[in-house]
Structure 1
Amino acid sequence: MQLTLAPVFKRLLLPASLSGTVTDAQTGSPIAGTLVQVFVIGMTVPIKSTLTDDNGQYRITDLPSATYTIIVFARNFTTQSLNVTLMNGKERKVDIQHNLLQISVANIS
């Protein structure tokens, strides 16, 4: 006799994953080389991180079901931080739009 797991039970055993695309909020262009970090809420060291590819896409796998803080950093853009809840066996798609840093130069006399 062969024992099979019900589809719902199988999904509970599978880790969660996070994916998406990082783009420039003004132009819609993908931002390659963006650092995407996953933190357990309240912790200061990421448990996983990756860089976006040439198309601005990222994917982070093998995450346990939980709520995480995601911090996204791209040179010359504002840093984004958001909380995301992941469920076992599911892939959560989170697209992020970055705004350029606003740099002001003070008049020096």
Structure 2
Amino acid sequence: MTILLAFFLFGLHSFAQQTVRGTVGDMLLQSSLSGATVTMNEHSTLTDDKGQFRFTNILPGNYSIMVTYSGYQQQQVEIKVISGKENAISPDDAKFRTPNIPVAVLLEGKFSSLYANRVSAAMRDSISAYGGSFMPQNIDDNKMIVVADGDIVLNSVSKGNEPLPMGVNPYTIGTQREVLFANAIFLQNCLDYLVNENNLSEAKAKDYVARLLNMQKVKEEKTFWQIINIAVPVLLVILFAVIFQWNRKRKYSK
């Protein structure tokens, strides 16, 4: 399941002629959403190609605006239209300023068994009778990665019941808002880290030196190698043709 947060930005204004207008957009992708359904009490409309909507002839009073769009969470905002005054409603910026929200945690060390305090003496004796012993904690260091949502490793399915690449949002695929999230890369890095004894961080920390060409030598020998690459294949084809014709003539001339 693709993790996609749908945020809607409203800029609502009412004027003396009781007109309410606003814009619907995706704050994550910084783009407007055209074709979104905007409902204000008994009034309903669709946003234009710029994500804007407009209601006219609105009487003063309290209204509830509902916005729905395929692939996004439904959003609702309450407004109050006051005749002769301009009203502006914006999203709470504090809700969108929380940085580095963890969705996965890496744990390393010795882990205690979930049954450490649940094994009775009778169960221990039964395990011992089969030549085993209960271990309340692992001996060697271990590691695990705990992810907040297991759907992060799921693949969505297209309308034709075909699996989509991991990290693709099926509702925006094929549109200008299509984004490929790094779910697959995250999963690969997790597996590499868990099974790689040398640790993925050490592999990524390696320095790779690019062996660049000697540009002075390239400039001096450019013509020579161009002739070799062009002439040699042609000469080989001609030589093969001559040998083939000579062998054919020798074979059938008798």
TM-score band, normalised by shorter chain? 0.5 to 0.7
Distance 1:65 1:76 in 2: 33
Q: Deviations over 1:63-98 (max 9, x none)?
A: 1000111101111111001110001245645567xx
Aligned 1:1-109 pairs, distance under 5 A: 14-39=16-41, 47-90=42-85, 92-94=87-89, 104=151
Shift of 1:55: 0.5
Instruction: Tell me the percent identity.
Output: 31
Distance 2:45 2:65 in 1: 11
2:34 aligned counterpart, secondary structure? coil
Structure 1 segments unaligned to the other structure (5+ residues):
1-13, 40-46, 97-103
Distance 1:73 1:80 in 2: 7
Shift of 1:20: 1.1
Structure 2 segments unaligned to the other structure (5+ residues):
1-15, 92-150, 155-254
In 2, are the aligned partners of 1:22 and 1:95 still within 8 Å (CA)? no
Q: Deviations over 1:15-42 (max 9, x none)?
A: 4121111111211101000111011xxx
Pick the structure with more helix per residue.
2
1:62 aligned counterpart, secondary structure? coil
Distance 1:22 1:86 in 2: 19
Pick the structure with more strand per residue.
1
- Greater length-normalized contact order (CA 8 Å, ≥ 6 residues apart): 1
Q: TM-score, normalised by structure 2?
A: 0.28
Q: TM-score, normalised by structure 1?
A: 0.62
Provide the aligned C-alpha RMSD in A: 2.0
